[in-house]
Amino acid sequence: MQGLRRKFFYNISVYQVGSQVASSLHESIGRSTYSTRKVFDAGQPTAATHPQLLEEGEITPGITSDEYISRRKRLLELLPEKSLAIIASAPVKMMTDVVPYTFRQDADYLYITGCQQPGGVAVLSDECGLCMFMPDPSPQEVVWQGEIAGVDAALDTFKAEKAFPIRRIREILPEMIGKASKLFHNVKTALPAYTDLEAFRMATYDGKVKDLSRFTHEARWIKSPSELKLMRQSASIACQALLQTMMFSRTSPDESMLSAKVEYECKMRGAQRMAFNPVVGGGANGSVIHYSRNDKKIRDGDLVLMDIGCELHGYLSDLTRTWPPCGSFSSAQEVLYDLILETNKECVNLCQPGVSIQQVHDHSVEMLCRGLAKLGILKDDRSSSQSYHQLNPTAIGHYLGMDVHDCSMIRNDRPLQPGVVITIEPGIYIPSSFDAPERYQGIGIRIEDEVLITESGHEVLTGSMPKEIQHIKSLLNYGNGGATELRSMRAASS
């Protein structure tokens, strides 16, 4: 172990006992033992700093360094021989001069390294394994930003085979590029630190440089058991948070308060952040698919559509429910809700290995067109497929994982396989100006579930969140607002 590199490690205090017996006793007592040893700060939770979150050997809660090593091996197997892959971390976006927006790591970089922090470039090849170029912050930068992962963390926490300060990339990377017959890089996070290198430019000129995402998305498409555990937990947090928010909406029918409530409930259950800005659309705002203003009161009798998800240790959830905070559906809302619910349930039931998102989508379009024509919302003529797209321009769903629209390089007509997670989210968005019976105008409804494809069919990861009209009505009318019953219902669902 290099002396210098070790300088931050195990600054063992006078309290530590030195004998063999004492040290095995220390190990058997485990991580709760009192110790004043200084623990290495890798700039993110580790088993040493956050024993409540991570076991020894894990880089991410539930994901071991061995799993990261096999991810890298698999990615190299997918790439042509003698390839070099370059993956930069996500850039830090500034709000103003020295004040950054909340940082979110690029999913490909996180998948390959486990490093949640900015400033690094990971390089992968059969010859060198994982080589990480890491930030080397000045003491002044540490004063402002705190500890961040550097060369020590790359070697000891992320288990890179080699690591260098980022300032040495210009000296070291050209030779690695020169030895490669093909070069792949993460185009989304490309950085002048390597794209400006003469060797990279020459390789581009020679047509040797390609986007890496086709291969990373391939590797990320099927989730491992430990990834699925985090996906289940993320979905469960989103369900509990949305259920609490649904009940809260009875007394606070206000878009911004519902948005705040769901974010609070997710974070109090351990989520690091929301998966995307929550969509909280009251009345006609529910027809704006990615509505983000969330700044209106919800009128009595209107529906509210909430599309939310959270991120748990890099894994996302995505869930939508629509309900009337006042506790009762109008008959127009109810028939439309029924159509979307039946479409949701039929589409979920189609999910199994061998079926594609595209096939499920086609079925949903057929079913919704038929239902909307029956209700007199779509005219049964040749323009109806065009009108349908005015009422629902979205696909039935998407892959879900470390990004909300995950693995977007994988086509929707690819037959699904066990371990893939998708969403099923039929909806209807009727603008107030749409030529339909007035009672349907300005209604937006979406019901979205997360579906894991299994060997025998599927499992609904968001199955605990009510969607039947009767269940929603019972929840919203429980005790007719009686405070005691409401409190016990909230407690039961938390």
Contact 41/66 with Cβ under 8 angstroms?
no
Instruction: For the CB of residue 317, give the shortest distance to Mn ion in the complex, in Å.
Output: 10
At CA 390, angle to CA 386 and CA 396, rounded to 5?
Answer: 95
For the four alpha carbons of 154, 155, 158 and 162, in that order, the dihedral sign comes to positive
Q: Binding mask 403-442 vs Mn ion (x if CB under 5 A, - otherwise)?
A: --------------------x-------------------
336 or 396: whose CB is closer to ligand GLY? 396
Determine how many CB atoms are found less than 10 A away from the CB of residue 432: 11
54 or 238: whose CB is closer to ligand GLY? 238
> Considering the rule CB under 6 A, would residue 395 count as an interface residue with ligand GLY?
no
Determine how many CB atoms are found less than 10 A away from the CB of residue 427: 26
106 or 318: whose CB is closer to ligand GLY? 318
How many CA atoms lie within 13 Å of 168's alpha carbon, on the beta-carbon side? 13
217 or 250: whose CB is closer to Mn ion? 217
160 or 241: whose CB is closer to ligand GLY? 241
Which ranges of 351-452 would DSSP assign to H, the alpha helix?
357-374, 384-391
Instruction: For the CB of residue 394, give the shortest distance to ligand GLY in the complex, in Å.
Output: 8
Q: By rule CB under 6 A, what count of residues binds ligand GLY? A: 4
329 or 399: whose CB is closer to Mn ion? 399
- Which pair of structure tokens corresponds to residue 240? 């509990």
> Considering the rule CB under 6 A, would residue 156 count as an interface residue with ligand GLY?
no
At CA 106, angle to CA 105 and CA 112, rounded to 5?
Answer: 100
158 or 291: whose CB is closer to ligand GLY? 291
Instruction: For the CB of residue 490, give the shortest distance to Mn ion in the complex, in Å.
Output: 27
> Considering the rule CB under 6 A, would residue 307 count as an interface residue with ligand GLY?
yes
Q: How far is CA 163 from the centre of its chain?
A: 28
131 or 420: whose CB is closer to ligand GLY? 420
Instruction: For the CB of residue 393, give the shortest distance to Mn ion in the complex, in Å.
Output: 14
* Cβ contacts of 22 within 8 Å, gap of 6 or more: none
DSSP string, 100-150: EPPP---HHHHHHH----SS-EEEEETTTEEEEEE----HHHHHHH-----
Query: Over the Cα atoms of the chain, what is R_g?
Result: 26
403 binds, among Mn ion, ligand GLY, none (CB under 5 to 8 A by kind): none
Instruction: For the CB of residue 222, give the shortest distance to ligand GLY in the complex, in Å.
Output: 20
> Considering the rule CB under 6 A, would residue 404 count as an interface residue with ligand GLY?
yes
Instruction: For the CB of residue 247, give the shortest distance to ligand GLY in the complex, in Å.
Output: 22
Instruction: For the CB of residue 288, give the shortest distance to ligand GLY in the complex, in Å.
Output: 12
Instruction: For the CB of residue 405, give the shortest distance to ligand GLY in the complex, in Å.
Output: 6
Q: By rule CB under 5 A, what count of residues binds Mn ion? A: 2
- Which pair of structure tokens corresponds to residue 179? 């030895």
Instruction: For the CB of residue 265, give the shortest distance to ligand GLY in the complex, in Å.
Output: 17
At 211, phi and psi to the nearest 5? -70, 135
SS3 266: helix
Q: Which of 58, 255, 263, 318 binds ligand GLY (CB under 6 A)?
A: 318
404 or 475: whose CB is closer to ligand GLY? 404
Which residue, 227, 235, 215, is CA-closest to 108? 215
Tokens 């989508």 locate to: 361
**Region 248-287 residues binding ligand GLY, contact defined as CB under 6 A:** 276
Q: Binding mask 285-324 vs Mn ion (x if CB under 5 A, - otherwise)?
A: ---------------------------------x------
Instruction: For the CB of residue 119, give the shortest distance to ligand GLY in the complex, in Å.
Output: 29
- Integer Cα distance of 266 and 245 in angstroms: 10
* CA-to-CA dists, residue 113 to 183, 351, 389, angstroms: 19, 32, 41
- Which pair of structure tokens corresponds to residue 68? 């990261």
* CA-to-CA dists, residue 280 to 58, 260, 335, angstroms: 36, 10, 22
> Considering the rule CB under 6 A, would residue 311 count as an interface residue with ligand GLY?
no
Interface residue list for Mn ion (CB under 5 A): 318, 423
Interface residue list for ligand GLY (CB under 6 A): 276, 307, 318, 404
